[in-house]
Amino acid sequence: MRLEGKIAIVTGGAQGMGRAIALRYAQEGATVVIGDLRQADAQKVVDEITDSNGKAIAVAVDVRNQQQDQALIDSAVNQFGGLDILVNNAGVGKIIPFLETTEQDWNFMFDVNCKGLLWCSQAAAQVMIKQGRPSWSDRATRGCYMRGRFSRIERIRLHYAAVHQRRWWQLAKLITHVRKSA
């Protein structure tokens, strides 16, 4: 079990790739905190994990809300004593013709996909820097899940953060800095 003793938060873990990540992390021995808008579905994933002798809890969160993101991170720390892995998986996509995209559409996607990631990462970074054992995955989830190999997470994560999601390159730098100084 490659994640024995690790505590992981998976945002958007109630369905889709987040659910798959949560289940796989639990199989690998991680304690999983699932943060999602859809509490009932998140609880079903928790039940699947606990039925297989894994450890998990569900926390209702709208990642757009900074206070709720802080509470999500706090719940991992308060209930399990720390945080090793944050998977910023919660996200939304609206496939709309370019010329029909409204400010409301843009704000919605920006708030979930960017602000949500920022607030969760900031709150998690505070904990991880104190602990000196950071780990991250920012929407690199497709690559990680399809390849199904944890050993490649690091490369994929940095690839996505630094290349495809250039706006997050500072985050990758922070992680590298923390790793070097840990």
Ligand X SMILES: NC(=O)c1ccc[n+]([C@@H]2O[C@H](COP(=O)([O-])OP(=O)(O)OC[C@H]3O[C@@H](n4cnc5c(N)ncnc54)[C@H](O)[C@@H]3O)[C@@H](O)[C@H]2O)c1
Residues that bind ligand X in the complex, under the rule CB under 6 A: 11-12, 14-18, 36-38, 61-64, 89-93, 112, 116, 139, 141-142
Identify any residues that bridge with 101 across adjacent strands, giving them in sequence order. Answer: none
Residue closer to ligand X, measured from CB, 106 or 177: 106
Residue closer to ligand X, measured from CB, 110 or 169: 110
Kindly state the smallest distance separating residue 106's Cβ from ligand X, in Å. 15
- The answer to whether 37 touches 91, Cβ cutoff 8 Å, is no
Kindly state the smallest distance separating residue 114's Cβ from ligand X, in Å. 11
Kindly state the smallest distance separating residue 121's Cβ from ligand X, in Å. 14
- The answer to whether 23 touches 13, Cβ cutoff 8 Å, is no
The residue whose Cβ lies closest to ligand X is 91
Residue closer to ligand X, measured from CB, 43 or 131: 43
Residue closer to ligand X, measured from CB, 106 or 130: 106
Burial letters for 69-81: b for 16+ Cβ neighbours within 10 Å, e otherwise? bbbbbebbbeebe
- The answer to whether 35 touches 13, Cβ cutoff 8 Å, is yes
Kindly state the smallest distance separating residue 34's Cβ from ligand X, in Å. 9
Picking from 155, 124, 153, 158, the residue whose alpha carbon sits closest to that of residue 141 is 153
- The answer to whether 82 touches 31, Cβ cutoff 8 Å, is no
